[in-house]
Amino acid sequence: MITTEIKNLSTCRKELNITMPKEELEPIREKQIKRIQKEVQIPGFRKGKAPKQFIKKQYGQLIEAYMLEAAAEESFKQALAEHDITVVDQPEAKKIEFNDDGDLVSVIEVDTYPEIELQKITGFELTRDKYIITDKLVDETIDRMRKEKAEIRTIDAPIEEGHLVVFDMQELDAGGVPIIGKKYNDLNVKVGEGRFDPELEKQLIGLKTGEEKQIVKEYPEDFPQKDYAGKKEYYLVNIKKVQEEILPELNDEFVAEVDESLQTVDDLKKEVHKRLELEHKMESENRFTADLTQKLLEANPFDMPAALIENYLDHVVRDIKGRDPQLKEEDIRQHYRQEAEFTLKWHYLKEKIAEEQQIKVEDEDINKFLDELKDEKIREVYEKNPNLLERVREDILNRKITDYIVSNSKVKENEIKLD
């Protein structure tokens, strides 16, 4: 019977010191002799009929090599089964040799799923943001909706702030001579929006379609880029088109166009307020959950086997390269490695928390989720897709674990007024 001494090198790596007594080696040796006896062809003997003594003498070294390999493999399997160890990567044999008593001694290092000892899962001090939606934010949101439906009208009038301008711009030297290769055609700028150079934008104001003007860009002496500090750039602009946005009037007709289920401007304001509240609540909850997850991982440190991380990244690479084959695998792995480790650690940590606290996702939890789906077709998609249902199970488990930790921690509410 084998004996095994186990040394934990980390939370996910073990050293197994396995001893197989010499009396258990002989049957394995005999098995290898028979194996060679069947495989080799000896002159003067029918295949498989050569005497064992002849086989031992002729193939002694090969027999011992086969026996050593088979015995080490057998003792390793027994050790894993006896101690209920699951290996996640190829084992690394550090030593396989006979001791002075003729026993086979194997020293093998293995990576396992992380063994987690929960140190702290309650008693955290947490902050949850609560956003206050103001009338000003609602009005600004509705103004953006109006701008999305604005009519763009070409006008024959001097440029003002807010106008859309199409123009050509030719860079000049200090003497006013055009610089070859420095002409920019059909530039589109909304004056005052800030996407173009504000200093140059101001010099467009007052011009009309068809007019030209030389404008100047002056860099201050303390400009960060030394090559430009204290210098001037000269441009000749030619205005090709001036347009203005005509916003739709904020009335019941506009409201119906935005959402036919709404009737009045007041209805729209209430709906926008509700949407903004939900949007920022979800944002706050996601940030709160991420912060809680980070605190849990910091309070309960453990190592993650490299093999599991690489396997996770294999799936990421396949998914991303399937959408964009031009991306390099090495770049993808480097970009997502930290996220992979974080995701895997949270997966195993939450499973451990659920196990110790007996937090479970019952069938009734899944059924409740399905019952809340208003669209029967969407419900049917979930019911027929085990992967989607597993994702639902994970989401529910996450929520239950979060609820447990939050109910056993201190949560401070931080009000943020959104103007």
Look at the chain and report how many structural domains it folds into: 3
Q: How far apart are CA 187 and CA 268, in angstroms?
A: 36
Segments in the chain below pLDDT 50: none
Specify whether 68 is located in the same domain as 167. Answer: no
- Which residues share a beta bridge with 245? 152
pLDDT for the residue 306: 93
Specify whether 94 is located in the same domain as 36. Answer: yes
Specify whether 279 is located in the same domain as 163. Answer: no
With tokens 């002849």, the residue in question is 54
Whether 93 is in a domain gets the answer yes
Owning domain of residue 387:
119-148+263-294+359-419
pLDDT, tens only, 78-124: 999 999 999 999 999 999 999 999 999 999 999 999 999 999 999 99
Specify whether 284 is located in the same domain as 398. Answer: yes
Tell me if the pTM is above 0.85: no
Specify whether 157 is located in the same domain as 178. Answer: yes
Residue 34, domain CATH: 3.30.70.1050
pLDDT for the residue 342: 96
Whether 166 is in a domain gets the answer yes
Whether 14 is in a domain gets the answer yes
3-class SS string, the chain: CCEEEEEEEECCEEEEEEEECHHHHHHHHHHHHHHHHHHCCCCCCCCCCCCHHHHHHHCHHHHHHHHHHHHHHHHHHHHHHHCCCCECCCCEEEEEEECCCCCEEEEEEEEECCCCCCCCCCCCEEEEEEEEECHHHHHHHHHHHHHHCCEEEECCCCCCCCCEEEEEEEEECCCCCEEEEEEEEEEEEECCCCCCCHHHHHCCCCCCCCCEEEEEEECCCCCCCCCCCCCEEEEEEEEEEEEEEECCCCCHHHHHHHCCCCCCHHHHHHHHHHHHHHHHHHHHHHHHHHHHHHHHHHHCCCCCCHHHHHHHHHHHHHHHHHHCCCCCHHHHHHHHHHHHHHHHHHHHHHHHHHHHHCCCCCHHHHHHHHHCCCCHHHHHHHHHCHHHHHHHHHHHHHHHHHHHHHHCCEEEEEEEEEC
Whether 312 is in a domain gets the answer no
Residue 223, domain CATH: 3.10.50.40
Q: Which of 246, 280, 303 is where one domain is finished?
A: 246
Whether 284 is in a domain gets the answer yes
Specify whether 143 is located in the same domain as 282. Answer: yes
Specify whether 28 is located in the same domain as 136. Answer: no
Specify whether 9 is located in the same domain as 23. Answer: yes
Q: Which of 90, 111, 132 is where one domain is finished?
A: 111
pLDDT for the residue 161: 94
Specify whether 416 is located in the same domain as 290. Answer: yes
Specify whether 273 is located in the same domain as 380. Answer: yes
Specify whether 50 is located in the same domain as 132. Answer: no
Whether 274 is in a domain gets the answer yes
Whether 35 is in a domain gets the answer yes
Whether 416 is in a domain gets the answer yes
Specify whether 16 is located in the same domain as 45. Answer: yes
pLDDT, tens only, 256-296: 999 999 999 999 999 999 999 999 999 999 999 999 999 99
